[in-house]
A = this chain, B = another copy of it.
């Protein structure tokens, strides 16, 4: 049978330099989240199919990789449910909810979880989009207050600031909105609740096709022209109020929400947004911009409150996103549990740093002993003992046979960061 050298379609091999970068970024993320009191957990990459289907996971649910039941491939005419009872997870949120339901008696309340792991989507591969990729999620379960949002925004922006300051990227923006505000604006315009998801999908295109574009698409989709115009007037108002880079905070933001939503918005929602905006602004790194963004949608309909997304200047995609999902754990466990999470799109950050040719900081000396096995094979024990003593002191040391093509061997070692390279012949003194 033929061997295939390339990785499975849409999946990545990582070379040593890639891995150094990935490990460094992950260690900064882990260290930051640890300081914020998050505890790392791990869940299996496989989940019960029942848990992954029909869970408001949006498009992702269509992209599930299903795993064949053992021994079932030989029978004929089986239906999907008989062929597969588990699948690869498409995010870390569903496994977290299952995990919390299963283990809540052993966990503190609120529970601040960090999960770093691979997720899988049978997406069409393209630049920066893969079929296996790493996500870094923090979630706070059991805290209904805005303090959860403030902690999540603080921790995520601090981790990103630490990572990007190394490549002199400091300008990034946290976009905030609330599903309740999204819904209140749609309700005020006269739309029906059953249409919200479709309307929000079209609204989400605002940054690409503009207000006029969204208007056209809503009308083309059959919505009433008056309702559409009323709906879009809320967004025009926001654009006017923030012209020239003005930011809406505190009372100005409250005024806007009253105008845009009227009495369709519960007071708790505007209170919460303003607390999150104001407290975060006062406590996060001053280089981070916090922005209320009424056009922010987020794909998953499981969100129930605050939603957020982080963008960096000069890049068209978001690098982190999340929000509050107060009903999802309850559906697993039967016990309602407020929950809020923020997920870093690790592959995007990795891609940005790699494109900027960023290198992980060097750590200490790297030495190589290249032993001439013709003349100095009797010295092997001595060289290994010498290397062992240096390794015990923390140095990076490799011991290898000297190759015929010594120049090439030395070149590649130097490329890997080895600075001290010694060829060991019968009479070479070890230093």
**Chain A contact residues, CB within 8 Å of chain B:** 1-8, 11-16, 18-20, 22-23, 34-37, 39-48, 50-51, 53-54, 63, 65-68, 70, 73-74, 76-77, 79-80, 83-84, 86, 88, 98-99, 101-103, 106-110, 112, 118, 120, 122, 131-132, 143, 145, 147, 150-151, 154, 158, 275, 278-279, 282-284, 331-333, 366, 368, 371, 373, 380-381, 384-385, 388, 391, 394-401, 403, 408-409, 412-413, 415-416
Contacts and interface: CB of A to CB of B under 8 A. Distances in A.
Given A65-B67, A70-B122, A76-B77, A35 B4 contact: no
Nearest to A380: B279
Interface centre among A35, A381, A395 (most CB of B within 10 A): A35
Contacts of A416: 39, 108
Given A37-B398, A112-B398, 16 more contacts: A1-B54, A8-B47, A11-B46, A13-B44, A13-B99, A15-B106, A16-B41, A34-B396, A35-B394, A36-B391, A46-B131, A68-B83, A77-B77, A108-B412, A151-B398, A158-B391
Contacts of A415: 108
Given A13-B41, A67-B88, A109-B403, A35 B397 contact: yes
A73 B77 contact: no
A143 B16 contact: no
Nearest to A134: B42
A334 to B, nearest CB: 9
Nearest to A396: B35
A21 B35 CA distance: 18
B398 A44 contact: no
Contacts of A384: 150-151, 154, 279, 282-283
B15 A41 contact: yes
A118 to B, nearest CB: 7
Nearest to A367: B37
A5 B145 CA distance: 26
A104 to B, nearest CB: 10
28 contacts: A5-B333, A6-B102, A8-B47, A11-B46, A13-B41, A13-B44, A14-B41, A23-B40, A35-B397, A66-B73, A67-B68, A73-B79, A73-B80, A73-B84, A74-B80, A107-B412, A108-B412, A108-B413, A108-B416, A110-B400, A145-B373, A147-B380, A147-B400, A147-B401, A150-B380, A151-B384, A151-B399, A282-B385
The binding surface of chain A is classed by DSSP as mixed
A35 B395 contact: yes
B8 A86 contact: yes
Contact of A398 (B12, B36, B279, B401): B36
A56 to B, nearest CB: 12
Nearest to A81: B73
A264 to B, nearest CB: 26
Contacts of A5: 98, 101-102, 332-333
A4 B51 contact: yes
A-B residue pairs, 7 tightest by C-beta: A37-B398, A11-B44, A16-B39, A108-B412, A283-B384, A73-B80, A14-B42
A96 to B, nearest CB: 10
A5 B373 CA distance: 59
Interface centre among A63, A67, A101, A112 (most CB of B within 10 A): A67
Contacts of A399: 37, 147, 150-151
B132 A45 contact: yes
Contacts of A275: 380
Contacts of A6: 102
Contacts of A15: 41, 103, 106-107
